[in-house]
Amino acid sequence: MAQVALEKVVKRYGSVETVHGIDLDVAHNEFVVLVGPSGCGKSTTLRMIAGLEEITGGTIRIGDRVVNALPPRSRNISMVFQSYALYPHMTVRENLGFGLKIAKQPEAEIVKRVNEAAEILGLHAYMDRLPQHLSGGQRQRVAMGRAIVRNPDVFLFDEPLSNLDAKLRGQMRVEIKKLHQRVQTTVIYVTHDQVEAMTLADRIVIMRDGHIEQVGTPSDVFDRPANVFVAGFIGSPPMNQLDGEVASEAGRPVARLADGIAVPLPPDLAGKATAGQPVILGFRPDSLAPRGHALHNEADSLALTRPVIIAEPLGTETIVFTDFAGREVQGRMLNPRPVRAGETMEFTLDLTRLHVFDKASGRSLRG
């Protein structure tokens, strides 16, 4: 069993602390993605798990072993890097088998494992090619194959798709997901791309400034973000956020916005929001749509007439930018028709999927 556990893990470079006592448990066979903006500590955390960075404090366990003092080669992990790190003078076959050769595995075992990896990743047609004669996606498959042949307890991926174009990234996401289903081992994956995180992960770990902001399934972090940062980071297009203040109207709590509009708050927030409390009202573009073009039940929505600032046609949908409480917000229009800048449209805002955050702390009022 290859569980990975981080307990109060700290990393300092001199007097600068970059990872601040984080705790994380990764289950056997789980696919966990660390995501966050540049400099948040996600790659440093991965490198500490790998043994490429020494930890300053805390404990890292892989399986039932504390690995704090173990070198990378003794941790039974395999790491796939952003840069592929292939040997340019070796063929694909030689790259795949090199680590096993250095480990003095029997030749028959090397051939067997290399062929198994090539079968899993569809590399048989390229086995005698040098890396310079491969596409970016093919090189990344070779890098993954080199990791597979070692039969590691844990796969570590450090932004493996960031050098690929958008189409190849989409294809390789599918390949990595299939790989995890076939090899059935623990995966910890680092990316700055929240789309990668949402599509690949069993659970997502969202980091900022060396802290873990939230851990949850993709649906957890999308539907119930713990704070304003998570709400704005997860989701594409990002969540709209508007400043407001809690008030009471006809006995029901509302968020009164800068332009005087009162937005009724969801019933589950009754008693959690107090009159006069400054809040941030959040709603995803899916929750704001021109009338007749919405996913939500328009009967339970707030109607707003607004001018279109710009529109971005995307085929089966259009992203519509409009003004709301003095801020530019985005809505999603399904089954779209042509939309002109300056056109006035009636929008409906889904009141059942609002998010409300305390402005002072940034925390969700749902807790």
Strands (E), the chain: 4-13, 16-26, 31-35, 57-62, 65-66, 77-80, 154-158, 186-191, 203-208, 211-216, 240-249, 252-257, 262-264, 278-283, 288-290, 301-313, 317-324, 327-334, 344-350, 355-358
Q: Looking at the domain covering 4-233, what would its CATH class be?
A: alpha beta
Tens-level pLDDT at each residue, the chain (367 residues): 589 999 999 999 999 999 999 999 999 999 999 999 999 999 999 999 999 999 999 999 999 999 999 999 899 999 988 887 899 999 999 999 998 998 889 999 999 999 999 988 889 999 999 999 998 888 988 998 988 898 899 999 999 888 888 888 888 898 889 888 888 899 999 999 989 999 999 999 999 999 999 999 999 999 999 999 999 999 989 999 999 999 988 878 899 998 888 999 988 887 788 889 999 999 999 999 999 998 888 888 999 999 999 999 999 999 999 998 889 999 999 988 999 999 999 999 999 999 999 999 999 998 7
Domain ranges of the chain: 4-233, 240-358
For residue range 145-174, what is the model confidence (pLDDT) as tens digits? 988 898 899 999 999 888 888 888 888 898
Q: Which amino acid is at 188?
A: I
CB 352 within 8 A of CB 338: no
Q: Which amino acid is at 194?
A: Q
Tokens coding 131:
């890396």
Which CATH entry fits the domain spanning 240-358: 2.40.50.140, 3.40.50.1970, 1.10.8.60, 2.170.270.10?
A: 2.40.50.140
